[in-house]
């Protein structure tokens, strides 16, 4: 006997007569309409739109496998498509059954069509959204939909755009028009049932899948399942365990070549298509605006990295080509200079030649082109943000999001659960619902203070890790000296191993803090999801900023700046501070940047692909082997349709895109804040992003359920973060050039000290003299290998034989000149670049004049169409009224002027029901 869906209890006998007829394998729509029972007793027939069907047994399904495609995504007894699916476990509490019963009753009351499948352990409720519901909620949600009028006179592109398009077509980076036909541009307007003449509702493609899913999700979020005002929404039901999942369906499996999913997998998510444009319109239709906007932004950012990468490579090549003419690296490699020990007691004197290779590589990064590249990247960052605002405005208009704004956002389900027992409530003036109140002084404020205190504590933990790595660096120098290793490998091993240790610590702290930040934000009792996400973003980005960038900031701005001199070294935990090589610390900064940036990107790429695959394998294993319910071995989840196949996939959570944005914003920081020390950063970011786009696309298509479409106008808070990072980048690059580079000291030397205004002699000028007899007892080498009277160190200090003994080892006047030049450079650089950035922002409007004119013209044409049709409709109504009046007057009605006695008494009409009297 076929299992009937529903909760009928003792009333199950009522349905036996239905099943006695062999023609009934399931309940049809008509049968449901004919069998209307008491709403309080029956769960099946709830309204005239109720379609609760029961599925056939698995054996009957195998016999009915004549139309696989129909059964794969449709109701079992009709051609209705499955637009949304709810899944729940048959093992549930009694109150869960009642909640589902009430919730689904309210769903069908709104007009949704439902069908339940209960053949397996995981039960499914399939939902279809009829056209009348789509029309009603499209109007409620103020969706902009295409109107019938074609916009045939679109403004033509200028010659620059046409030339660029021809060039791109020649380079074969455009999409295949056969697979992705160019969509005809259509005017859009807010949908209104009163203005149905504007819209081609009868077109089967008028409501696309994204709109249908959005409306279904909106209804699911608003329908109640209990008596309280806040007992509503599918998210809360999932949180409480009433349902296990709620998701829209993919439009086919990964082998169905007729499905859009397979098309996107082959043509968009394939690494072999990495040089092709993204089909952003198709992505929007399939995944929704929010999802498509991320990939649109990522694609735009990646394309903007191309000129930055080219300029970075040119600057890098310039450093290589000018290496032979660099006097500083040449002098380091050729002159026999004995340097002072790099640690106390155990370190020996060393020859400057051992850093020859280091200084040559340093010049490739630290050369005159560095200044140009820093200025270029600052202007590039501003240009990128302004052009993105301009482009996103065009995208928002094309996708019908102009004027869109989020409506009153409901409370988070987790928020309502935590405050379920709250006694105090207040009326929300927007939604007109009673909501629980969080006491500010007693609960809210202490929670926020505790949350951010713990967040600050973990930020200090990240700083402590950096300090530990610094101590490792300093201790390694001493241990190396103890083993009497005279090779120069340590100048490379120390920064490389330190960077690797730092990267491992970063990953571990990220895993811990990610969970901690979410727990802390939950503790704050944020009311809405937007408030929750914003608070979480602040905490995570604050921590990530410190976690990723603190070691780099240390090398850039602190290492070697406060070392002291041989008679008075500044120490930390008994260790002397690290010194920079005579060539500077920029090379070490480059090593740190390269390892953290490239290593983190490579690790994220592997994790993002492996983890979803493992989750899918685990879900498939659990549900197909029946481990979750071993008591019934016959009950398993068999992938005989799309909803059971999708159920095995990973859940697309609201934070899925959050992690993607965070990864890219951190990369943007490497590209802008520290690009002076790593000119190849844009190139590596470009390579990573080209692969990231395609691998992310494959991950979301293959291993995740289809996300619920969400409408957004822009990338939200991430734009503000990018703007702030860009401003920090200007200041950071100015300080790196001024204090970590040799640009300013060499410039001052050429202008003030050099006779021929060249770099000749700069090395001798930058190294101070020290008499080894002045070493304190605790600092002097214990057993030096050579007898040295005078050693050199990289500082601007007076020599040991200064004429004024009181000025021995003190700062000379040239040091203060260089410091003044450094500070002046920072002020000039920052103000000049900021002026150019402001000018760029002012010259590039957020909305192009072409788009602005188009929007005005479209609004005008739409209004004209509405006025024309309303005028015609009013005329038709007037004519109809006139005809009705004429028809009434032409019946057996007698017009009689009471003042004229024209009719005799015999001619007076008798009063009857066919006589109508009108006052002339």
555-568 pLDDT, tens digit per residue, is 878 777 777 878 88
Q: State the average pLDDT for the chain.
A: 76
**What SS3 class is residue 668?**
helix
CB-based contacts of 737: which residues, under 8 Å, 6+ apart?
370, 371, 374, 676, 743, 744, 825, 829
CA distance 482 to 603: 36
- Is the pLDDT assigned to residue 882 strictly greater than 70? yes
What's the sign of the alpha-carbon dihedral 138, 142, 148, 150? negative
In the numeric block, the tokens 């001199």 are attached to: 565
- Is the pLDDT assigned to residue 631 strictly greater than 50? no
Comparing 502 with 593, the larger pLDDT belongs to 593
pLDDT band at residue 490 under the 50/70/90 scheme: low
282-315 pLDDT, tens digit per residue, is 999 899 888 899 999 999 999 999 999 999 999 9
The separation between CA 150 and the C-alpha centre of its own chain, rounded to angstroms, equals: 34
Residue range 728-753: mean pLDDT, rounded: 88
CA distance 550 to 556: 10
Could you tell me if residue 92 is left (phi over 0), alpha (psi between -120 and 50 degrees) or otherwise beta? beta
Residue range 405-419: mean pLDDT, rounded: 61
Q: Cβ distance 213 to 708 under 8 Å? A: yes
CA atoms within 13 A on the CB side of 816: 5
Q: Angle at the Cα of 113 (from 108 to 118), degrees rounded to 5? A: 95
794-841 pLDDT, tens digit per residue, is 888 998 888 888 888 899 999 999 999 999 999 999 898 889 888 888
In total, the chain counts a number of residues equal to: 920
Q: Cβ distance 7 to 43 under 8 Å? A: yes
pLDDT recorded at residue 486: 44
Q: Angle at the Cα of 81 (from 75 to 82), degrees rounded to 5? A: 75
What's the sign of the alpha-carbon dihedral 803, 807, 809, 812? negative
In the numeric block, the tokens 């044409």 are attached to: 861
pLDDT recorded at residue 126: 92
CA distance 279 to 260: 12
- Is the pLDDT assigned to residue 31 strictly greater than 90? no
**What SS3 class is residue 241?**
coil
Q: Cβ distance 282 to 289 under 8 Å? A: no
- Give me 701's structure tokens: 């298509």
Residue range 589-600: mean pLDDT, rounded: 81
**What SS3 class is residue 664?**
helix
Residue range 347-370: mean pLDDT, rounded: 85
- Is the pLDDT assigned to residue 744 strictly greater than 80? yes
pLDDT recorded at residue 899: 42
Comparing 128 with 481, the larger pLDDT belongs to 128
Instruction: Give the predicted TM-score (pTM) of the model.
Output: 0.78
- Is the pLDDT assigned to residue 574 strictly greater than 70? no
In the numeric block, the tokens 């990128």 are attached to: 384
What's the sign of the alpha-carbon dihedral 73, 75, 79, 81? negative
pLDDT recorded at residue 583: 56
Percent of the chain with pLDDT over 90: 13
């Amino acid at each position: 006997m076929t299992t009937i869906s529903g909760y009928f209890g003792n009333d199950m006998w009522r349905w036996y007569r239905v099943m006695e007829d062999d023609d009934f394998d399931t309940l049809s729509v008509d049968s449901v309409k004919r069998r209307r029972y008491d709403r309080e007793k029956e769960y099946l027939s709830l309204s005239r739109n109720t379609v609760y069907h029961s599925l056939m047994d698995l054996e009957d399904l195998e016999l009915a496998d004549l139309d696989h495609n129909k059964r794969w995504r449709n109701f079992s007894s009709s051609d209705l498509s499955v637009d949304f699916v709810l899944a729940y476990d048959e093992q549930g509490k009694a109150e869960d059954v009642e909640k589902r019963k009430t919730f689904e009753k309210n769903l069908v009351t709104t007009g949704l069509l439902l069908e339940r499948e209960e053949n397996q352990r995981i039960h499914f409720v399939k939902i279809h959204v009829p056209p009348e519901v789509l029309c009603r909620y499209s109007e409620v949600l103020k969706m902009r939909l295409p109107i019938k009028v074609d916009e045939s006179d679109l403004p033509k592109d200028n010659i620059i755009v046409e030339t660029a398009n021809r060039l791109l077509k020649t380079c074969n980076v455009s999409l295949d028009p056969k697979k992705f036909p160019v969509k005809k541009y259509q005017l859009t307007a807010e949908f209104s049932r009163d203005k149905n003449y504007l819209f081609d509702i009868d077109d089967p493609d008028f409501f696309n899948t994204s709109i249908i899913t959005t409306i279904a999700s909106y209804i699911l979020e608003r329908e109640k399942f209990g008596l309280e005002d806040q007992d509503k929404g599918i998210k809360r039901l999932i949180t409480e365990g009433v349902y296990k999942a709620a998701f829209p369906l993919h439009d086919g499996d990964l082998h169905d070549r007729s499905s859009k999913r397979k098309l996107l997998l082959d043509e968009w998510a394939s690494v072999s298509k990495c040089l092709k444009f993204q089909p952003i319109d198709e992505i929007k239709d399939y995944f929704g605006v929010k999802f498509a906007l991320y990939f649109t932004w990522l694609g735009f950012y990646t394309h903007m990295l191309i000129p930055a990468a080219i300029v970075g490579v040119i600057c890098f090549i310039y450093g290589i080509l000018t290496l032979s003419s660099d006097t500083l690296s040449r002098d380091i490699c050729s002159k026999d200079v004995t340097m002072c020990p790099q640690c106390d007691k155990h370190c020996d004197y060393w020859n400057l030649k051992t850093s020859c290779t280091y200084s040559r590589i340093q010049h490739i990064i630290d050369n005159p082109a560095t200044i140009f590249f820093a200025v270029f990247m600052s202007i590039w960052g501003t240009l990128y943000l302004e052009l993105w605002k301009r482009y996103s405005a065009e995208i928002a208009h094309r996708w019908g999001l102009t004027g869109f704004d989020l409506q009153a956002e409901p409370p988070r389900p987790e928020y309502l659960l935590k405050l379920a027992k709250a006694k105090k409530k207040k009326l929300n003036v927007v939604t007109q619902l009673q909501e629980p109140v969080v006491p500010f002084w007693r609960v809210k404020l202490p929670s926020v203070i505790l949350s951010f205190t713990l967040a600050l504590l973990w930020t200090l933990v990240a700083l402590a890790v950096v300090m530990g790595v610094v101590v490792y660096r300093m201790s390694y120098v001493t241990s190396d000296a103890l083993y009497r290793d005279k090779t120069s490998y340590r100048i490379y091993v120390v920064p490389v191993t330190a960077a690797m240790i730092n990267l491992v610590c970063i990953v571990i702290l990220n895993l811990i803090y990610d969970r901690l930040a979410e727990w802390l934000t939950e503790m704050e009792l944020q009311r809405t999801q937007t408030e929750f996400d914003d608070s979480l973003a602040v905490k995570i980005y604050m921590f990530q900023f410190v976690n990723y960038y603190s070691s780099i900031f240390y090398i850039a701005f602190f290492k070697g700046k406060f070392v002291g001199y041989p008679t008075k070294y500044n120490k930390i935990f008994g260790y002397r501070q690290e010194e920079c090589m005579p060539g500077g610390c920029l090379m070490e900064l480059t090593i740190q940047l390269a390892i953290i940036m490239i290593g983190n990107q490579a690790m994220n790429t592997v994790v993002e692909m492996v983890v979803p695959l493992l989750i899918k394998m685990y879900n498939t294993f659990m549900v197909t082997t029946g481990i979750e319910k071993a008591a019934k071995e016959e009950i398993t989840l068999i992938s005989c349709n799309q909803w059971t196949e999708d159920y095995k996939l990973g859940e697309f959570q609201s934070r899925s895109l959050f992690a993607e944005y965070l990864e890219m914003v951190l990369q943007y920081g490497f590209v802008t804040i520290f690009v002076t020390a790593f000119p190849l950063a844009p190139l590596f970011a470009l390579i990573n992003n080209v692969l990231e786009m395609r691998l992310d696309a494959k991950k979301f298509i293959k291993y995740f359920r289809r996300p619920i479409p969400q409408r957004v106008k822009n990338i939200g808070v991430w734009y503000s973060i990018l703007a702030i990072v860009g401003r920090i980048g200007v200041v950071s690059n100015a300080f790196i050039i001024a204090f970590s580079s040799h640009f300013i000291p060499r410039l001052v030397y050429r202008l003030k000290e050099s006779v021929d205004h060249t770099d000749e002699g700069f090395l001798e000028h930058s190294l101070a003299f020290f008499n080894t007899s002045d070493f304190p007892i605790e600092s002097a080498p214990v057993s030096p290998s050579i007898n040295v009277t005078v050693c050199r160190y990289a500082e601007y200090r007076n020599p040991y034989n200064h004429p004024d003994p009181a000025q021995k080892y003190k700062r000379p006047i040239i040091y203060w000149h260089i410091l003044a030049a450094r500070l002046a450079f920072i002020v000039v650089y920052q103000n000049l670049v900021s002026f150019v950035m402001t000018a760029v922002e002012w010259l590039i409007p957020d909305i192009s004049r072409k788009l602005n004119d188009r929007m005005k013209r479209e609004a005008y044409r739409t209004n004209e169409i509405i006025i024309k049709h309303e005028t015609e409709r009013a005329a038709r109504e007037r004519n109809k009224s006139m005809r009705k009046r004429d028809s009434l007057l032409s019946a057996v009605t007698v017009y009689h002027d009471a003042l004229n006695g024209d009719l005799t008494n015999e001619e007076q009409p008798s009063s009857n029901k066919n006589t109508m009297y009108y006052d002339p």
